[in-house]
Amino acid sequence: MSVPIRTIASANGLEATRLAYQMILNGSDVLPAVVEGVTLVEDDPDDMTVGYGGLPNEDGIVELDAAVMHGPTHRAGGIAGLRNVRHAAKLAQLVMEQTKHHLLVGEGANAFARAQGFPEEDLLTDKTRKIWLYWRQTSSDRDDWLPPPYEQLDPAVIEFFKLTKDHGPETVYQRSEVADRPTGTIHCSGIDAQGNLSCVTTTSGLAFKIPGRVGDSPLIGAGLYVDNEVGSCGSTGRGEENIRNCSSHLGVELMRQGISPKEAGLEVLRRLVKQVRERWLLGADGKPNFGLKLYLINREGDFAGASIWGPSKFAVTDDQGTRFEPCAYLFEKPTKT
C-alpha cells in the first residue's frame, strides 16, 4: 500500500508542515520530522503560545507542556510544567526514547533536561513580560496593582488587549471581567508513504494559568493520540475540555468505525460541547465561550481540521504544496459590530 506523504498542523504550523514533509520525503521517520517542524515554532519569539516567547503563568513564569506519539511502536513521551527550557517537544521525544516512563513533570522534567544537556534560559521576552504585567495590573480591583496611563503603554500591549484611549482603571476592570484568555499551541502530525503516522503537541498552555496547571497537550488521549492502524488526532484550544472528554482518543476511535476525519472531528466536538454546563464556559447565547480545534489524519492519508468556531484554518503540506485549508466547524463566529 502506498499513501500520499502528508503533514498537517494548527494554523501557526505552516512552516512546520513544510519542513516535516521535506524530511519525510527525504526518508526520515515521521516522528523526528514533525518534532523538527514544531521546533521552528518553539524558537519563534513572535509565537506567544509555544516555547521561547510563550505567554507565562500568573506569576510571570513560562511553563511548557509537550508530548509525542509514535505510530509504528505505539510509544509516547511527555513533559509538563517545564521551565526555562524552550525545546519541550524534543525533550518529550527523549522521554519516549530514553526512559521507561511516559510523562515527566516540573522539577523532574527540568532535571531530565539538564541531564540531556538542554540549555536553560529565561523564556519570557520583553513583549510577553509587558503583556503579563498589564494582565496582572488589571486582573482585579481588590489588590494594589494599577495600570499605567494609556500613553505609557507599549503598542504590543495595546494591540494584544485591544485597548482604546478611554482605557483607565474603571474601564480596565470591566474589560478584564470578560477578557479572552488567549490560548494557542502547535499540533503537527504526518503520514509517510507506508502509512506510518506520528504526531506532536507543544505549548506554553493557557496564558496566565495557575502555576503548576497542566493542560491537555502532554496527555496522551487528550491533546494527541495515534493508532497506526487507524489514524492520528491532536488538538489545540481549551485543554481542560479535551482532558475530560479524551478528545484525541475519541477522534481516533470514531475513525476506527470508518467515519471520515472531518465527521469524526465534528462528532467529538458535538459531544464535548454537550457536556459544557459551567457558567464560566458559556456565553450569553448558551454556546461555549472558548475555542477548540482538532486535526485528524486517517491511515489512508485523508485529513481534516475541525473547530468549534469558524471560519478557521489549518496548515497542510503534501504533493499539492504548502497551504492553509479551512476547518469544518460547528458554529459561525459572531461578527463584531
Residue with cell 497542510: 316
Among 12, 57, 93, 183, binds ligand ASP (CB under 6 A): 183
Among 56, 190, 231, 239, binds ligand ASP (CB under 6 A): 239
The DSSP code sequence of 104-156 is EEHHHHHHHHHHTT--------HHHHHHHHHHHHTS-SSSS--PPPGGGS-HH
Query: Does 217 contact ligand ASP by CB under 6 A?
Result: yes
Of 35-43, 94-102, 232-240, 282-290, the segment contacting ligand ASP by CB under 6 A is 232-240
**Do residues 60 and 88 lie in contact, with contact meaning Cβ atoms separated by under 8 Å?**
no
Calpha distance 158→154 (Å, rounded): 7
Instruction: Tell me the closest approach of the beta carbon of residue 292 to ligand ASP, in angstroms.
Output: 8
* Residues labelled catalytic: 185
- Per-residue binder mask for ligand ASP (CB under 6 A), 17-56, x = binder: ----------------------------------------
Among 9, 79, 206, 327, binds ligand ASP (CB under 6 A): 206
Which of 215/251 has CB closer to ligand ASP?
Answer: 215
C-alpha distances out from residue 124 to 36, 50, 65, 76, 129, Å: 22, 11, 16, 28, 6
Query: Does 265 contact ligand ASP by CB under 6 A?
Result: no
| Single-letter code of the amino acid located at 261 | P
Residue 121: phi and psi, rounded to 5, are: -160, 165
Instruction: Tell me the closest approach of the beta carbon of residue 215 to ligand ASP, in angstroms.
Output: 2
Q: Which residues bind ligand ASP (CB under 6 A)?
A: 65, 183-185, 203, 205-206, 215-217, 236-239
